[in-house]
């Protein structure tokens, strides 16, 4: 197990980092660093002997946060911002289907399970809809679930 990044390497965090209860002075679940932020590796360690943990100093926020390797990329690597992220609740803007068979109606609520930034046609998501399989959905076909829920409330 060799670290991908070394001391002083500029890295970008690719998903929001929230307090897992180990960051003092902040509530558990509080947003510590927003995805896309750039910091510098200060230290490299391990957790449970099988995970590399980087201590990253985000100068703009004056925060030092522990990050797993899969949460980071080189700062100079291309960064494609996404509208949604893991665990966000989203609603469909139009019906979704496969081979002419409608699987999800417009306005249905789902949960983002994975963000795919390097898809051919832009950002796509693995979205899980309750009682169904997970679908790959383009960003243009989604909106915030709260927006859809507000529209439903106004119609009712």
DSSP secondary structure code for residue 71 in this structure: G
At 149 the pLDDT is 58
**Residue 83 lies inside a defined structural domain of this protein:** no
What is the domain extent for residue 93? 89-155
144 - beta bridge partners?
A: 90
Cα-atom radius of gyration of the chain, to the nearest Å? 18
pLDDT at residue 15 greater than cutoff 60 = yes
At 154 the pLDDT is 47
**Residue 17 lies inside a defined structural domain of this protein:** yes
Q: How far apart are the C-alpha atoms of 9 and 84, rounded to whole Å? A: 27
Are residue 149 and residue 93 in the same domain, yes or no?
yes
pLDDT at residue 153 greater than cutoff 60 = no
At 156 the pLDDT is 45
pLDDT at residue 72 greater than cutoff 60 = yes
The stretch 90-96 carries a mean pLDDT of 93
Are residue 95 and residue 151 in the same domain, yes or no?
yes
Q: Quick one: the chain helix, strand, coil %, rounded to 5?
A: 10, 45, 45
At 139 the pLDDT is 92
Are residue 105 and residue 53 in the same domain, yes or no?
no
At 104 the pLDDT is 92
Q: Give the end of a domain, one of 74, 105, 123.
A: 74
Top pLDDT among 41 and 152 is at 41
pLDDT at residue 74 greater than cutoff 90 = yes
Range name among 14-18, 64-68, 73-77 with the lowest pLDDT average: 14-18
CA-closest candidate to residue 20, choices 10, 28, 12? 28
pLDDT at residue 57 greater than cutoff 90 = yes
pLDDT at residue 155 greater than cutoff 80 = no
Instruction: Give 76's pLDDT tier (boundaries 50, 70, 90).
Output: very high
Q: How many domains does the chain have?
A: 2
The stretch 17-28 carries a mean pLDDT of 89
Distances in whole angstroms, Cα of residue 14 to Cα of each of 56, 88, 92, 107, 128: 13, 15, 24, 28, 21
At 147 the pLDDT is 58
The stretch 95-120 carries a mean pLDDT of 88
DSSP secondary structure code for residue 59 in this structure: T
Beta strands in the chain (DSSP E): 10-13, 17-18, 31-33, 38-47, 51-58, 63-68, 72-74, 89-92, 96-98, 101-104, 109-116, 124-128, 134-138, 142-144
């Amino acid at each position: 197990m060799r670290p991908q990044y070394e001391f002083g390497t500029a890295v970008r965090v690719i998903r929001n980092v929230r307090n897992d209860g180990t960051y003092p002075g902040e509530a558990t679940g509080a947003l510590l660093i927003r995805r896309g932020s750039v910091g510098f590796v200060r230290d490299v360690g391990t957790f449970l002997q099988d995970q590399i943990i980087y201590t990253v100093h985000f100068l703009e926020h004056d925060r030092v946060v522990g990050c797993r390797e899969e949460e980071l990329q080189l700062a100079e690597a291309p960064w494609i911002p996404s509208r949604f992220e893991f665990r966000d609740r989203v609603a469909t803007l139009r019906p979704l289907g496969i081979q002419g068979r409608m699987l999800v109606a417009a306005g249905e609520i789902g949960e983002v399970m994975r963000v795919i930034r390097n898809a051919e046609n832009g950002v796509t998501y693995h979205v899980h809809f309750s009682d169904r399989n997970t679908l790959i959905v383009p960003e243009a076909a989604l909106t915030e679930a709260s927006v859809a829920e507000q529209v439903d409330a106004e119609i009712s």
